[in-house]
Amino acid sequence: MKTKIILFLFMISLFMLIVGIGCEDAKLKLPSEEQPSQQVTTRQAGAAIWDFPVKPGTEEWKSLETIEQQYEAYNIPESLIKEISTDDLVKICLDYPEWGLIYAFNDPQTGFAHVLDLFNGFEELFSRKDAAKELIKVYLEMNPLDVSRLSTDLDKGLFSFQFTRIEMLMATNPIVSLLGDEDERLLLREGITKYRSKEQFPDVYSLWSLSPVAHLCLSILESDGRVSEDIGRRSLKRRALYHDKSVLDEIIVESENFLKQ
């Protein structure tokens, strides 16, 4: 397990390096000509509206003297942000260049909170009433089993990280609060399917990848105010990562039982 964690962190570090040099070829693509829609929607669909024009590799980026200025350069101008459709805003947020920072802290949830504070696109997304539905649309098109079509560990790590990003976004209180009963059940079903699919590739989807989807399901189960006192669940809710897979499995089983009601 320790070796898997080290490998995963190494792949994420490489991902951040690739983004840092602004290499457009770094966008993950499957070897087949026919690619899943989530592969091509994030940067390509949002590019015409906001493609982070000031980023590593550009002349403007070189002129920025502090890390604060660099983070600020990613932000969408106020004159534009309200004009961006929610579906495009979802893709832009998922494509935010500094997502890798969630692994620079003691746990992913702490890092995620830091990332949310850096980019104004997230705040705007959380204010949109249709944000949950647009996120779900993207999530439904994603298939963890497509990782079998990738050959390198780096590509597999980048692919799995796509699920972490959207699952962590959907587990936030602003998004969960937008879910109606039908959306909750739809997202639980999809979360269960994603979890079971990830289990088929344990070398790719370790606890770092299984925890976010279990965390998402737990957030939905507890959206009615029911809060478990279980130590493992509380730790998962706080950190978006838990070291004992049996706790994650229990949440998925509870989600399955909930859908039978």
Which residue's structure tokens are 């994030």?
42
Give the whole-angstrom CA distance, residue 127 versus residue 148: 37
Q: Which amino acid is at 3?
A: T
Give the whole-angstrom CA distance, residue 86 versus residue 176: 16
pLDDT digits 0-9 by tens, 144-165: 999 999 999 999 999 999 999 9
What residues make up the domain containing 51?
Answer: 2-27+34-259
pLDDT digits 0-9 by tens, 42-81: 333 434 478 899 988 899 999 999 999 999 999 999 999 9
Q: Tell me which of 207 and 41 has the higher pLDDT.
A: 207
pLDDT band at residue 194 using 50, 70 and 90 as cut-offs: very high
Q: How many domains does the chain have?
A: 1
